[in-house]
Amino acid sequence: MPTSDVQSPAVTFTINDEPQKVLHRLSPDGASGDVSATTSLADYLRFTRRLPGTKTMCREGGCGACVVSVKTVEAIGDRKNGYHPIQVRLAQLNGTQCGYCSPGMVMSMYSLLESRDTLTKEDVEQAMDGNLCRCTGYRPILDAFKTFGADADQKTKDMVKDIEEAAGCKSQSGGACGGGGGGGRCAGCPRALPMSSGEAQWALPESLAKLYAAMAAVPRGRTLRLVTGNTGSGVYKHDGPFDSYISTLKVPELHAVSKTAEAATFGGAVTLSRLIEELQLLAPTAGFAHCRQMASHLLLVANTPVRNMGSWAGNLMIKHAHREFPSDVFLLLTAARAKIVVADAQGAAEEMDVETLFKIDMNRKVIVSLKLPALDDNYIFKTYKVTPRAVSAHAYVNAAFLLPVNKDTMTITEKPTLLFGGISKTFVHASATEEFLTGKSLLDAATVSGALAALQAEVVPDADPELSATEYRASLTTSLLYKVILYTLGDRLPEHLRSGGEDITRPPVVGSQKFDTDKDLWPVNQPVPKLEAQAQTAGEAEYINDQEALSDELHGAFVISTVAKAKLKGVDASAALALDGVRGFFSAKDVDGTNNIKGDNNPEELFVSDKVKYCGQPIGVVVADSPEIARRAAALVTVQYEDVQRPILTIKEAIADGQEIKPDTMMHLEINTGENVDEAIAAAPRQLSGEFQIGGQYHFYMETQTVRAVPREDDQLDLFSATQDIRDTHHTVAKVLKMPAHKINVSVRRLGGAYGGKLAYPTTVAAGAALAAVKLNRPVRIVLDVEANMEMFGGRLPYLVEYKAGVDETGKVQGLKMRYLCDAGFASSATTTFSAVSMAQNVYQATNWTVVPGHVNTNLAANTWCRSPGTTQGVAGIENVMQRIAHELKLDPWEVRKANFFKPDTKFALSASDEADHAVFTQMIDEMFTEGQIQQRKADIAAFNQANRWKKRALSLVPLRYPVHLWAKYPALVSIYDLDGTVAVSVGGIEMGQGLNTKVAQVCAHELGVSLDMVSVKPSDNLISPNASPTGGSIGSEMSCMAVRDACQELKLRLKPFQGEDKAWVQVVASASGAGVNLSAHSASRRRPETYNVFGLTAVELELDVLTGENCVRRVDLYEDAGQSLSPWVDIGQAEGAFVMGLGLFMTERHRFHPDTGKRLTNRTWNYYVPTLKDIPRDFRVKFLKNNKNDIGVFNSKATGEPPLCMTSACLFALREAVASARNDAGDAAWFDFGT
C-alpha cells in the first residue's frame, strides 16, 4: 500500500506476496515513470507486471473480467506448479467457452472461498453477480463453483475429488485482504492508485486527524477527491483528473461499526458489502427488523466486486456530484431516518439528515459516519428497485417507503415517507401524496384511490433519451405505491390480491443435460472438456492484447464523428500532435490504396472523406506511445461539420421519409406457393393483419476489436487480428495499403468471443493499425474501449415484420402474406432478410403463402451478422403470427401450431426435405410433452392465474426447423512428427469459444487412431489457409472437421504400406518418414449441394409481477436434434449459451440513440444489459434427441450453435401471454403488439 508520507515519490504494496514499488510519472503527459494517478490496477498488472491473466473490457466494474483478490489468477495455480481446485473444476465441468471471462470468474470464486469457512449454493450465485459471460449461459459455471458448497451432495463431492486427482491440482490458499476491514474482498475494476503525477498529489492518512490535515494541506483552487474504492470513476469516467487524491483506506475511525439499543453507527469508509453483512446481523435485534429489507435491497446495488470496494458514503458523494445518479443508498438511508456526520478540514463536525447533504458544499469535507436509528414495530419499511435485468443495473424507478401505521386500524398515524428515484434530478419526496395519506386508513378504498391519484398528479418524469419512457416511469411510481399498500395490508386482503404485495423470487439455478454417446467412436462423440479450458481458467490462454509489446510498439485510438448526418468540413489534429508522446495522425488523405473496407457494390469508407453517415464513424486514427496518451490525443482532434441534419434512426422513420424499400443485397429469396394469395386470404373465414418489431442487439464479445500490426523485413507486415474472417482482413488491408497479398501475414490463435461481430468489421481496426504501422515503420496495437467499440460498429439488424393472414376456425392458415424488413444501418453490406425468409416456413405447411424480403438504410452504424442472423427474426415473425391467430380464435397457441404442422410428404419451399424429418419432429414433441409434463403444467398455470390477480404465469412453446447449408471452404493441414508420432493440426476455421479446436482434435485422433492428448491444434493463418471462408453459421466446426478427416485419410493411405500386425504407431510413422513419405497432408472442405434440417422445440415457463413488469424465467426445456454430437459437452454449452443470448435479445437488451445526434447512448455495461446469472432460467433442462443420424454431416453430426437462439422468442411470447392474462382480468381482451 502507499506509504503514509504524502510527499513520498513512490507507492508500495504487495501482489502475489511480492512487494511492489511504483514510481510516479514526472509530467502530466505520461512520458516517464511507471504509472499515473489514474492507472488502473488491471493495467498495472497486465502491462507493468506482465500478468496478462487479468483481463479488461468495460473498465467500469460492470463485467467482472478484471477481478483480482490479494492475488492474481496466475498466482493461485498454473501448469508448472499445479492448478487450483477452482481452476480445475471450472475447466473440467465445462465452464469455459471463449475463456475471456474465466480468470475473473475464478478470482471472484477464490475471493469468496477466502472470505468464508463454509459456502452454500446461494452464496455462490450471490458472489458471482458481477461477472458477465456471453458464451456459456452461466449454468456450467455455477455448477462448477457450487461443488465447493457445504450443501453439495456426496455424488458431486466424489466426482470433483476424482477430477482433481486426475488433473493433479493443488490446494492453495492465500491471506485475506485487510484493506478496509472488509475481510477477504476481491478488488473490483477499475481501482485507481492515488500517487504523485506531475503536480497531482496523493495521501494515505492513518487517522481521522491526519485525514483532516491532509485535506487542509490541499491549496485552495486545487481539486480534491477522497477515495475508498474509487468505484465512481467507473460510472463517471470523465470526472477529473484531480490535483489531489486522499485515500480513506487506512483511517480506522472511518471503518468503525458500533451498535446500541437505540442506533447503529457506521464509519464513512465502510464498504457496501460490509454494510450488508452488518445489517443482516442487526436485523434480528429489536428495533432493527427493517435492516433485513435494507440489506436485501443493497444486494441489488452494483455487484459484488464493486460493493466489496465501494463505500456507502462514496455512493452518496456520487449522488452529490451527479444529481441524476439513481442512488439506492440515498433512498434507503433517507427513508430509514438516518443521520450522517460531515466534518471539514479543521475537524468541525455537523450531524444532519441525509437530504441536507445535498444542500451544502462538500469541498474539503468528508462524511465521517452514519447513524441508523431503531424503528418500532409500528413502522412499515419497504423498498423497491425495478430494473432492466435482475442485478447490476440501475433502476427504471427505485422507491423507499416508511409508513407509520396503527396495525389495528391500518391508519397512517403520522406523515409517511414516500421516496422515488429515476424521476428527475429534483423529485425525491412525493410530498402531496405524503400529506394526503397522513391520518387516513389504508382499509378505505377511497384512501388508496386518492393516494394513487395524488401521486399520479405530482410525478412528472424528465424526458431523457437514455432512459425508459416517461409514461412507463410515471406508471411505475403508482404501481409501487399500490404494491407497498398491498404489502402493508397483508393477510387483511382477499387471497387473490395478496401476491401483489410480494416480491418476485429467483430460486437457485438447477438444470439437467441429456445426450447419447457411442464409445465405439471415442474420442469422437466423447464428452470431454475443451482443449483450451485449463489454460483459460488459469489465465494462461493468450489473446492478442496479452501478447508482449515490442520495445518500439505504439498504440492507436480512433477519432470518430459526433453527429450522424452531415458533411465533413475540416479536421484539425494540431493540438493532438502537439501532445508529448503522440507520433502521428492518419486520415483519408493518408490512404495510399483504396479508402474502402468493403466491396465495390456496397462501399464503406475506412475514414470519412466527405459525408458523415452515422455517429461514431471513423474519421482518423491517432498513434501514440501509450493507450492513455492516444485516447487523450484523439479527444483533442477538432472536427468541423456543415449541413448537419437530423438523423433517421428507425425503419419506420426511413419509410416515413419516403425511402424506397430495397431488396436484400446478399441474395434474393422469396416464398411463393400460391397463384392468388390475396384471394385465398379473402376467402378464409377469418382475416387478420398486423406488424411485429424486433430490436437490434450488440454482440457483447468480452474481447473488444483488437489488432497488432508489426512491420517486418522485406516490406512484410504481420497482422494479429481478432477476426472470424482471415481472408477478408487480409484482402482489405492489402487493398488499403496497396500492398501485394503475399507480403501480409495474418494469424489468429483464438478470439475472446465473436458471435458474428468479428466477421465484417475487424477490417476497420486492422486497416487503421496497418496504415499507421507502415507509415511510421513501427508496430501499432489498437484495442478499442467498449464505448468506441459499441459506437463504431453495428450489431444484429432490427426488423419490422408485416403480415396479413386468412385462417379457418381451427387456426389453419388458408393464405398468408409477410414482409420482413430489416434496418441495415448506413450501408447494405450485411442484409439478412434472405435468411429470415428462408426460416419463415419453419415447421409449417405453406399453401398460398407469399413471403418477401426488404431493407432500408438509416443513419446508424452498418448492422451486421450476429449469431443466428435473420434466422432468429424469421422464426420469431412466423411464430408471432401463430400467436396472433390463437388470440383471435381464443385457442391454445400450440393447437394452432399443430393445425399447421408440416406432413410427412411436405416439400419445404426453400430447403431440402427428408422423409425422416417428420418422424424426428414427432418424436421430439412426444418426448417433450411426456418428460416435460406440458399439459399438467399448463393446467397448474391456469389455476395459478385464476388464484392471483397480480402475479401471472405462462408457458409458451416454439418449434424449430433450421435448414443447414454447408456453403464454406476451410483448409486443413495435418502433420505427423516422426520423433514420437504426435500430430499437429491447423485449420481455416477460427476458434472463438465454440469448441472448434476440440472437435478438430477429436476427429483427427479418431481417424489416425491416436489418443486425444497426442493432437495439438495450432493457430490459423493465411499461409496454411490462404482463402478460407469466414467462420460462422454454425458450420465452422463441422466443415473444418470434414477437411481434417480428409487429410487424415490421405495420411492413412500413405502410412498403410508401413503398418504391421504388431507394429506400434510410432514405429509406423518412423518407418514411413525414413522412406521419404510426406507426413503432412493438406485438404479443404468444399461446398456441399445437400442440405439437412435441425429440429428443435423449446418450452419456456415464466412468472410476471404485473405491478412492476419484473419477470422470472422459471423453467426452460430445450430439445434439439443434434444428430450425433461430435463433442456433447461442447455442444450442450453451445445450446445453453445461444439460448441465453437470445433471452437477452428479447428480454433485457435495448439500444437507445440520441434523436438529434444519432449517438448510441447505450454504449457500455452501465446502460446496456446482457443477461446475468440471475436472469437465466432457474430450471434449465437441455436434451439432445437420441438415435438420430445425419449422413451429410461428419460422423452424423449436426450444427448446434445457432438453432437454440432461434427459439428464444418463446420467452417474449410467454411474457405476452402473462400480460394478456392480467389484461383479461381487467376486462381487456384485445390483441396488443408486443415487440422488442
Q: Is 66 annotated as a binding-site member?
A: yes
Confidence of residue 1139 (pLDDT cuts 50, 70, 90): very high
Mean pLDDT across the stretch 533-554?
98
User: Within 499-589, where are the H helices?
Assistant: 533-537, 574-577
Predicted confidence (pLDDT) per residue in 633-676, tens digit:
999 999 999 999 999 999 999 999 999 999 999 899 999 999 99
User: According to the model, what pLDDT value does residue 34 have?
Assistant: 60
**Per-residue pLDDT, 184:** 37
Contact 1164, 62 (CB under 8 A): yes
Q: 313 a known binding residue?
A: yes
**pLDDT at residue 7 tops 70:** no
Q: What is the per-residue burial (b if ≥16 Cβ within 10 Å, else e) of 211-234?
A: bbbbbebbeeeeebbbbbbbbbbb
Residues 593-602 have pLDDT tens digits of 999 999 888 8
CB burial of residue 841 (10 Å; 0-12, 13-18, 19+): buried
Is 385 labeled as ligand-binding?
yes
Residue recorded with cell 424426428: 920
Average pLDDT of the residues in 902-929: 91
Instruction: Give the pLDDT mean for 106-128.
Output: 96
Q: Which of 412, 756, 706, 371 is nearest to 545 (CA)?
A: 706
Query: Is 311 marked as binding a ligand?
Result: yes
DSSP letter assigned to residue 355: G
Residue with cell 385464476: 946
Q: What percent of the chain has pLDDT over 70?
A: 95
Unique residue bearing C-alpha cell 427474426: 873
98 is in an annotated binding site: yes
Domains annotated for the chain, with CATH where assigned, are: 35-181 (1.10.150.120), 201-246+253-492 (3.30.465.10), 544-646+702-792 (3.90.1170.50), 911-966+1089-1236 (3.30.365.10), 971-1084 (3.30.365.10)
Do the annotations mark residue 63 as ligand-binding?
yes
Task: Share the mean pLDDT of the chain.
Answer: 94
**How does DSSP assign 1131-1173, residue by residue?**
HHHHHHHHHHHHHIIIII----B-TTT--BS--STTT-----T
Q: What is the mean pLDDT of residues 544-549?
A: 98
Indicate whether 5 pLDDT > 70.
no
- Tell me what pLDDT residue 17 has: 86
Is 1136 marked active-site? Answer: no
pLDDT of residue 662: 96
What letter represents residue 800's amino acid?
Answer: L
Q: Per residue in 361-387, pLDDT tens? A: 999 999 999 999 999 999 999 999 999
Dist. CA 347–CA 337, nearest whole Å: 25
406 annotated ligand-binding residue: no
Average pLDDT over residues 664-690: 96
The bridge status of strand 1111-1120 relative to strand 1091-1105 is antiparallel
Say how far apart CA 131 and CA 141 lie, in whole Å.
Answer: 11
Whole-number percent of the chain with pLDDT over 90: 88
For residue 487, give the amino acid letter.
Y
Is 722 assigned a ligand-binding role in the annotation?
no
What pLDDT does 196 receive?
Answer: 42
pLDDT one-digit tens code per residue, 874-912: 999 999 999 999 999 999 999 999 999 999 999 998 888
Q: Between 2 and 676, where is the model more confident?
A: 676
Is 135 annotated in a binding site? The answer is yes
If you count them, how many residues does the chain have?
Answer: 1236
Lowest mean pLDDT of 87-91, 794-798, 1057-1061, name the range: 1057-1061
Q: Nearest CA to 735 among 769, 765, 771?
A: 771
Q: How far is CA 1193 from the centre of its chain?
A: 32
CB 1151 within 8 A of CB 1162: yes
| Pairing outcome for strands 744-748 and 717-721 | parallel
What is the distance in angstroms between the CA of the first residue and the CA of the last residue of the chain? 49
The set of cell numbers assigned to 349 is: 463536525
List Cβ neighbours of 337 (8 Å cut-off, separation of 6 or more).
353, 373, 375, 402, 417
422 labelled ligand-binding? no
867 is in an annotated binding site: yes
Query: Per-residue pLDDT tens for 1075-1126?
Result: 999 999 999 999 988 899 999 999 999 999 999 999 999 999 999 999 999 9
So what's the pLDDT on residue 192?
34
Grid cell at residue 956: 409458451
Amino acid identity for residue 999 in this structure: K
Catalytic residue among 791, 991, 1149, 1202: 1202
The radius of gyration computed from the CA coordinates of the chain, to the nearest angstrom, equals 31
Distance of alpha carbon 380 from alpha carbon 522, whole angstroms:
63
The pLDDT of residue 912 is 80
Q: Tell me the per-residue pLDDT of 547-574, one tens digit each, with 9 for 90 and over.
A: 999 999 999 999 999 999 999 999 999 9
Which residues does 1188 contact at the CB level (< 8 Å), separation at least 6? 920, 1121, 1122, 1123, 1124
DSSP annotation string for 42-67: HHIIIIIS--TTS--SSSSSSS-TT-
Residues 560, 936: Cα–Cα separation, whole Å: 56
- Give the pLDDT of residue 1062: 87
**Which residue is listed with cell 391519484?**
453
Q: Which residues pair with 689 in a beta bridge?
A: 804
> In the structure grid, which three cell numbers stand for residue 439, read together?
391520518
C-alpha cell at position 699: 454482440
Query: Are 53 and 74 within 8 A, CB to CB?
Result: yes
Reduce the secondary structure of 179-242 to three states and give it as a string. Answer: HHHCCCCCECCCCECCCCECCEEEECCCCHHHHHHHHHHCCCCCCEEEECCCCHHHHCCCCCCC
Confidence band, pLDDT 50/70/90 cuts, at residue 188: very low
Let me know if 1047 is exposed, middle or buried by CB neighbors in 10 A (0-12, 13-18, 19+). Answer: buried
pLDDT tens digit sequence for 236-257: 988 988 999 999 999 999 999 9
Q: How far apart are CA 890 and CA 882, in angstroms?
A: 12
**Is 822 part of any known ligand binding site?**
no
Closest CA to 880 of 955, 803, 952, 822: 803
Q: State how far Cα 600 lies from the chain centre.
A: 34
Q: Is the pLDDT of residue 26 over 50?
A: no
Q: How confident is the model at residue 32 (pLDDT cuts 50, 70, 90)?
A: very low
C-alpha span between 509 and 531 (Å, rounded): 27
Instruction: Specify the pLDDT at position 601.
Output: 87
| Cα angle 521-524-529, degrees, rounded to a multiple of 5 | 135
Q: How confident is the model at residue 10 (pLDDT cuts 50, 70, 90)?
A: low
Confidence of residue 177 (pLDDT cuts 50, 70, 90): very low
CB 1143 within 8 A of CB 1113: yes
User: Where are any strands of DSSP class E within 1012-1134?
Assistant: 1015-1017, 1020-1021, 1080-1084, 1091-1105, 1111-1120
Q: Mean per-residue pLDDT for 134-152?
A: 96
Q: What are 874's three cell numbers?
A: 424469421
- Upstream peptide bond of 508 is cis (omega within 30 degrees of 0): no
pLDDT at 1209: 98
User: CB of 365 within 8 A of CB of 224?
Assistant: no
Could you read off the pLDDT of 804-838 as tens digits, one per residue?
999 999 999 999 999 999 999 999 999 999 999 99
- Within 13 Å, how many C-alpha atoms sit on residue 24's CB side? 22
The yes-or-no verdict on residue 172 having pLDDT over 50 is no
Q: Name which of 262, 237, 394, 224 is nearest 325 in CA terms.
A: 394
Judged against a pLDDT cut of 50, whether residue 194 lies above it is answered with: no
Alpha-carbon distance of 69 to 186, in angstroms, equals 4
pLDDT in tens, 954-966: 999 999 999 999 9
Task: Copy the grid coordinates of residue 478.
Answer: 403508482
